[in-house]
Amino acid sequence: MELNTLLFYILAAVTGFCAVAVVITQNIVRAAAWLLFTLAGTAGIFFLLGADFVGATQLLVYVGGTLVLVVFGVMLTAQGPFVSMRVGAAEWAIALGVGLLLYGVLAVTLIQFRGPDAAQAGLAEDQLPGSVVLGQALLGDRLASPAGNVTGIPGTGYGAAAGLGAASAAPQVTVRPRERVAYLLPFEVVSVHLLVVLIGAAYLARAKRRRAPAGGLRPGEGGVSA
């Protein structure tokens, strides 16, 4: 058995098992711990897929940032040492049924789906875009996938100019000269979005001052912080 295959099965088993454990555990602190292992396993899957930068970002942002935030939320809202909210047996049965049904539908669809095969369409290890390519794509300095037609600009591409019909729209390996399409605008939108989220979260979670009943605080009285 090849090393990649073995690694995939180990990582997939860890990730899947921890994801199921997040669902079935009753203790919210343990759910956070299982979520930690799920996210770390997903980062391992990204490394296995050759997406080094995405895997590193997953570790930094998710495991290092979001999960710490979640654990702080658990601690700040805990009524007792072990917060557990019971779920009834009937609810478990319904959830199990719905979950298995949903996964069955997805799995059957995926097995019937004939995607690009690993042998014929998979990229070699040295063809995978590294973090330099990702940075250039985000900054608008470089065309995105050279073989790609996902941006869907009609009529101006190499295929239309060379008289290739729409019937031969299968993945072209030729580099098409086209407009510069990259991800500078979404990058900026996301950065502004993060600023808005920062302000909004700080505003929502601020320490409140209880209003005086007559409306408004009189000078010198001061509010009692909630």
Partner 1 sequence: MSPEIGLNHYLLLGALLFVCGAVCMAIKRNAIGVLMGVELVLNGATVNFVAFARFNPTFQVEGQVFALFVIVLAAAEAAVALAIVLNFYNNHTTVDVDTAEELKG
Only segment of 109-117, 155-163, 216-224 that touches partner 1 (CB under 8 A): 109-117
Nearest residue to 123 (alpha-carbon basis) of 54, 180, 51: 51
Q: Which of 82, 145, 188, 210 binds partner 1 (CB under 8 A)?
A: 145
Only segment of 110-118, 156-164, 214-222 that touches partner 1 (CB under 8 A): 110-118
Question: Rounded to an integer, what distance in angstroms lies between the CA atom of residue 163 and that of residue 166?
Answer: 9
Here's the x/- map for partner 1, 54-93, by CB under 8 A: it reads as: x--xx--xx--xx--xx-xxx-xx-x---x-x-x---xx-
* Cα dihedral 163→168→171→174 (10° resolution): -30
Q: Which of 10, 82, 98, 162 binds partner 1 (CB under 8 A)?
A: 98
Restricted to residues 152-211, the positions that interact with partner 1 (CB under 8 A) are 171, 173, 183, 186, 190, 193-194, 197-198, 200-202, 204-205, 208
Burial call 64-103: b when 16+ CB within 10 Å, e when fewer:
eeebeeebeeeeeeeeeeeeeeeeeeeeeeeeeeeeeeee
Question: Which one, 162 or 197, has the nearer CB to partner 1?
Answer: 197
Number of residues that bind partner 1 (CB under 8 A): 91
